[in-house]
């Protein structure tokens, strides 16, 4: 079972408890379909705009066993309010540079 950490938008925490992210990860559906059910090692926020804490938090998830990092759909797709993170591309690129190619990055969860 692959180990995954999820990073979500801090501002979306007030609107979404992450239920769908957790459910589809456990079931191995949607973005996790190729991996099958996954074990979550952590579910953290980006730290707030502009997401500067996302890099350190992604590294922390990897240090705790994550083999992949998924960005919750609130960041890249704007679920549930239809407003994606305006800093998402920069956050993703910074995380990718820090973690390197051996850690898979997923741009959304559902």
Residue 63: CATH number of its domain: 3.40.50
Q: Is the pTM of this model over 0.85?
A: yes
pLDDT over threshold 90, residue 92: yes
The count of domains in the chain is 1
Burial of 29 (0-12, 13-18, 19+ CB in 10 A): middle
pLDDT over threshold 90, residue 14: no
pLDDT over threshold 90, residue 80: no
Q: How many CB atoms lie within 10 A of CB 1?
A: 10
Axis crossing angle, helix 88-99 with helix 54-63, rounded to the nearest 10: 40
Q: What angle do CA 83, 84, 90 make, to 5 degrees?
A: 150
Domain that holds residue 41: 3-106
């Amino acid at each position: 079972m692959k180990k995954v950490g999820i990073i979500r938008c801090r501002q979306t925490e007030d609107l979404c408890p992450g239920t769908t992210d957790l459910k589809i990860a456990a079931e191995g559906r949607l973005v996790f379909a190729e991996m099958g059910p996954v074990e979550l090692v952590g579910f953290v926020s980006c730290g707030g705009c502009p997401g500067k804490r996302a890099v350190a938090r992604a590294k922390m998830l990897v240090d705790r066993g994550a083999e992949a990092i998924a960005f919750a759909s609130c960041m890249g797709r704007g679920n549930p309010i239809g407003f994606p993170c305006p800093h998402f591309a920069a956050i993703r690129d910074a995380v990718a540079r820090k973690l390197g190619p051996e850690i898979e990055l997923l741009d959304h969860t559902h």
